[in-house]
Every structure is written in C-alpha cells, then in structure tokens.
Amino acid sequence: MDCRKVRELIPLVSGGDSETADVEFVKNHIASCSTCNKLYQKYIADRQALNSLNSFTLSDSIEERLKAISNSVIANRTTSERKKKVTPFAVRIVRVLTGTALILIALLALVFYLGGQKPPKQEKAPEGIVERIEYNRMIKRAIENATLDEKEKVTPAEREKCRVLDSADTSSFDF
Amino acid sequence: MSSEIVVEPQELEKRLIERFRSGDSSAMETLFEKYSKRLFWVAFNILQNREDALDAVQETFVKILNAIDRFDTSRRFYTWACQIMINLCVDKKRRSLKARSVVSLEDIGTQPLQQAAPEHLVTQEEKRKRVFTVMGKMAEAYRTVIILREVEGLGCKEIGEMLATTHATVRWRLHRARIMFRKIWEKEFPEEI
C-alpha cells in the first residue's frame, strides 16, 4: 500500500517539487524498500541526464546567426523610431496647412457670396402720390419756418417758400 | 583597497532597460546577447527544428522591443522574454503542417572535447543525445515544462507565470512529464534498466 503511494510521489519528490511531509514519507519508505529506492534512483538519474543539456555548447554558426538576428532587430527598430519622430512633425505641418487653406477657401466663398448679392428693390410709388408727398413736406417746412425775418429771405428757395405759404390751403395740416 | 559596487543581476537588467527606453539601443544588445542562446535552446527543444527556433528567437526579439515600454521592471526580464517565446513556439507548432522530423543535436552544435577523460565525455555526449531523443518523443506541453524546470532551472511558480497557468497545474504537468520521460527512456534504451 505504501509502495503504491510512494511510487506516485517519487517523480515530484526526486525533483524537489513536493511538500516536506511527502519528502519525509518517501525517504523513510525508500530507506527500507529496495524496489522503491531503485525507482527513486532512476528518477534522480533522469534529472541528472536532463541537466547534462546545460553544458551543451551551440556551434559558432548558430551563435553568429543569433548575433546577426539581434543586431538586425535592433537596427530595424532604431530606423523605425527615427521615422516615427519625423512623421508626426511632418503630419502636423500638413494638417495645419490644410486647415488654413480650408479656412481661407471658406472665407473667400463667403466674401464672393455676400458681394454678389444685390440690394433689395425699392418699390416705386405712383407719380401723383410722390409729388403730393413732396409738396406737403415743403409746405410743412415752410410753415414751421414762418418766423423768418425779411432779411433772411435772400435765397430763391426762401422766397419760394413764402410764396407757396401765401397761396396754400392750411386747413388739412396737422401741426 | 578598491571598493567594488556589486549590482544584483535584476537591478542591472532594470538599468539596461531604462537606458534603452532613454534611447540607448546598445543596452538592449547587451540583454539580447545575454539571453539569446538560452532562448534559442528552449525554442529548439520545443520546436525540434533549427530554423524554426531561429525564427522564433527573431520574432521574440521584435515583440520584446515593441512591448518594452510596457514591461514591468520588477519582473525578471528572462521570465518575460521566455514567456513571449513559448507563446510564439506554441503558435508555430499549431500552424505548422510539417510532420515532426527527426532532429539531432548535431544540427546546432556539440560540446567540444576537453581535458576530461574521453570516456566520460563520450558518455556525456551520448547521454545528451539520448535525452534529446526522448524529449523529441514527448508531447509538447510536457516537454516544455520539463525543459523549463530541469534545463532552465526555473521554479514552478515562475513556470506558471510563463505559461499563464497555476502552480498546481505546472506541478501536475511536471509529474506527468517525469513519468513520461522515464517510460520513453526505458522503451528506447532498455539496456539501461
């Protein structure tokens, strides 16, 4: 019964990957069981055989290729880092110029649009009404300026005002 | 008497990363050089293919550089890098339609003979090849945990962070991986039982 359990534990115990209790259990058992001890020694020998690979030396050609790989990877990385440093600056310049050009185009378009617009058409009133409006304005101004002295009536316009005032029908005016 | 300032490895890595963020690319070269072999080794063991492993390392480096600004320097750099790489390897494996090819350690180099006893070195060399053969026959999930635990020496908690899973799951996978490794070894090399 113990041998079965010990045989299960030996692979890990032999490699130092077991709990202390298991190590004690196995070592106590193999001290008195030659079969299990033999199995334990085989697993120890397996570990030593695997450890022999540690002393293996790679050939010069492999070492040279590894060195070449290392150098080329680093060289490529350095080149791509340089490109990364240049590219963002160039991209920024291009973006600024593109943005400026778009703004200018937009402003020019606005200027042309606004410049091309015509003022709204003023509707002409019928001729008879225009003359009547002007006549009434003239009369109104003349009446409002009715306190002018004789001396100031020097211009033809002033004289015309007085003449019109004398002949005007003032009943309809609202002062 | 000269006084030396001893800087912890993690603090050193943190300074290197800060230097890289400030524009010193040589700082990252230092980090890559330090970990490239380990990353390749892990990738090779997972992918079982030299070229795929080299591609995985390259892609990992690229991803590291792209994400380095967001890296939390309180974490270990290698843990983070390995996490990225393992995810890449898993994706590669899923996308790859190639049948698993037989690969060997000779594809990527072997340990040169040194001053130690030749028999010992041959044994070590043979052992490595056998280990590699056995691992090639394991399922990828188990192979990954066993590499990270036994070869890379990472703890279960760290492996859990890398694989975005719990400590308990990692222990369970490790348990299964070790049993699987033993079974495959006994099947492949019965003379050693």
Question: What HEC string does B156-174 produce?
Answer: HHHHHHHCCCCHHHHHHHH
**Is A174's pLDDT higher than 60?**
no
User: How many Cα atoms sit within 13 Å of A166 on the Cβ side?
Assistant: 5
Q: Return averaged pLDDT per consecutive 10 residues of chain B, 193 residues in all.
A: 62 86 84 90 88 92 90 88 91 70 65 50 77 90 92 89 90 95 91 59
Nearest to B145 by CA among B185, B184, B172, B127: B172
Lowest-pLDDT range, A118-127, A135-144, B145-154, B163-172? A118-127
Mean pLDDT of A110-135: 69
pLDDT level of residue A106 (50, 70, 90 thresholds): very high
**Is A101's pLDDT higher than 60?**
yes
Of A1-5, A89-93, B33-37, highest mean pLDDT: B33-37
Gap between the Cα atoms of B9 and B73, Å rounded: 12
pLDDT above 90 coverage of chain A, percent:
31
C-beta separation of B68 from B23 below 8 A: no
Task: Kindly tell me the sign of the dihedral angle through the C-alpha atoms of A121, A123, A127, A129.
Answer: negative
Alpha carbon B123 to its chain's center: 23
For residue A55, which residues of chain B lie inside 8 Å, CB to CB? 111, 124
C-beta separation of A14 from B179 below 8 A: no
Q: Which of B54, B110, B181 sits opposite A46 (nearest CB)?
A: B181
Residues in chain B: 193
pLDDT in the model for residue B53? 92
Burial status of residue B122 (CB atoms within 10 A of its CB: 0-12, 13-18, 19 or more):
exposed
Q: Do A56 and B111 touch (CB under 8 A)?
A: yes
The verdict on B123 touching A (C-beta cutoff 8 Å) is: no
The verdict on B19 touching A (C-beta cutoff 8 Å) is: no
Question: For residue B56, what are the contacts with CB-CB under 8 A and spacing of at least 6?
Answer: B43, B47, B85, B88, B89, B92
Q: Which of B50, B111, B156 sits opposite A57 (nearest CB)?
A: B111
For residue B108, which residues of chain A lie inside 8 Å, CB to CB? 58-59, 62
Of residues A132 and B25, more confidently modeled: B25
Mean pLDDT of A40-46: 94
CB-CB neighbours of A77 under 10 Å: 19
Burial status of residue A83 (CB atoms within 10 A of its CB: 0-12, 13-18, 19 or more):
exposed
Lowest-pLDDT range, A36-40, A51-55, B77-81, B101-105? B101-105
Q: What pLDDT, in 10s, does the model give residues A73-82?
A: 888 877 776 6
Q: Do A78 and B25 touch (CB under 8 A)?
A: yes
Gap between the Cα atoms of A166 and A137, Å rounded: 16
pLDDT in the model for residue A173? 54
The verdict on A36 touching B (C-beta cutoff 8 Å) is: no
Sequence letter at residue A63: E
Gap between the Cα atoms of A83 and A117, Å rounded: 51
For residue A67, which residues of chain B lie inside 8 Å, CB to CB? 33, 36
pLDDT in the model for residue A99? 93
3-state secondary structure of B140: helix
- To test the contact with chain A by mutation, choose from B16, B21, B32 the residue with the greatest count of A C-beta atoms within 10 A, namely B32
Q: What residue has token string 């700082």?
A: B27
DSSP secondary structure string for all residues of A52-66: GGGG----HHHHHHH
Sequence letter at residue B9: P
Nearest to B54 by CA among B85, B27, B78, B83: B85
pLDDT above 70 coverage of chain A, percent:
72
